[in-house]
Amino acid sequence: MIAVSIRSDLTRMERALATLASEQVPFAAARALNDCARAATVDVNRAMPEIFSNPTGFTRHAVVAPRELSAQKDRLAAIVTLRPIQARYLLREETGGARTPADNTRKTGAQAIVLPGRGLLLDSHGNIPAGAIARIKRQISSQAGVETSARHADKAKRRKAIKAVASRDRGSFYVGKDGGRSGKLAGGFYQRLPGHRIAKLISFGSETHYQARLGYHKQVGGAVSPRWTEAFVRRLHEAIATAK
């Protein structure tokens, strides 16, 4: 009979496995988590045009995985989040529900929600054009100044000024208060048009409602789950190969 004696230094093997479990596995897991977090930011940002119609570049880069919140071997969690400014308006797209003036984080004490009216030409992203509200306010202030001057001028100048105001009325702007003369106007900025028509440019609302459509949490989970195993195995092999 031929006998073969196989001996193994189990103590050394146990130490090696303990080192692998205590040092290399957490290190590999942290790197894999960060890989998945970065991949999730790419996926969710790329999906923005599928959720919103022609979103701005600002919105298409809303999702980030901040380096200061990345996973470490002693803290196995990587954070995927929204940039603070984008979160102000995207959070409601995630949760749905009503938005009121009290939710305005940029203007404390806001009395109304500013919404575009049907008569306002929106920009290519469907937003109120930059500076549009300021321009309308300047027009209204300018018109108020002309009308005040007309009331204080002598008769001849007053007739001329009033005639100028009347000829300009077709394109003039004004502030409509809830109810208006007809009882049908909602608060906002309006513009007079030919044919005694009016166009609502800006509406002042007490609340507006959103549907939950962003699906942020679901998208992040969908980006991480199929990648995790492959990322962890790859990073573990790298950790073992480079272990001292």
Is 174 a member of any domain? yes
Is 86 found in the same domain as 23? yes
Phi, psi of 195 (to 5 degrees): 75, 25
Is 102 a member of any domain? no
Is 199 found in the same domain as 143? yes
> 51 Cβ partners below 8 Å, 6+ apart?
93, 213, 214, 215
Is 77 found in the same domain as 158? no
pLDDT of residue 197: 84
**Containing structural domain, residue 215:** 10-96+211-244
pLDDT of residue 192: 86
SS (H, E, C) 96-156: CEEECHHHCCCCCCCCCEEEECCCCCCCCCCCCCCCHHHHHHHHHHHHHHHHHHHHHCCHH
Output the six-digit token pair for 106.
Answer: 């940029």
Which residue has 């008769």 as its token pair? 155
> 116 Cβ partners below 8 Å, 6+ apart?
122, 127, 128, 201, 202, 203
Domain total of the chain: 2
Is 172 a member of any domain? yes
Measure the CA–CA gap between 161 and 107, rounded to whole angstroms. Answer: 38
Is 195 found in the same domain as 119? yes
Is 3 a member of any domain? no
Per-residue pLDDT tens digits of the chain, which is 244 residues long: 566 655 556 666 566 666 666 678 899 999 999 999 999 999 999 999 999 999 999 999 999 999 999 999 999 999 999 999 999 889 999 999 988 887 776 666 677 888 888 888 888 898 888 888 888 888 877 765 555 554 555 656 656 555 555 444 445 877 877 555 555 556 888 888 888 788 889 888 888 889 999 999 999 999 999 999 999 999 999 988 887 6
Is 120 found in the same domain as 51? no
pLDDT of residue 170: 47
Is 167 found in the same domain as 220? no
Is 219 found in the same domain as 146? no
Is 59 found in the same domain as 148? no
pLDDT of residue 82: 96
Query: How is residue 177 annotated by DSSP?
Result: P
Query: How is residue 213 annotated by DSSP?
Result: -
Output the six-digit token pair for 40.
Answer: 């999730």
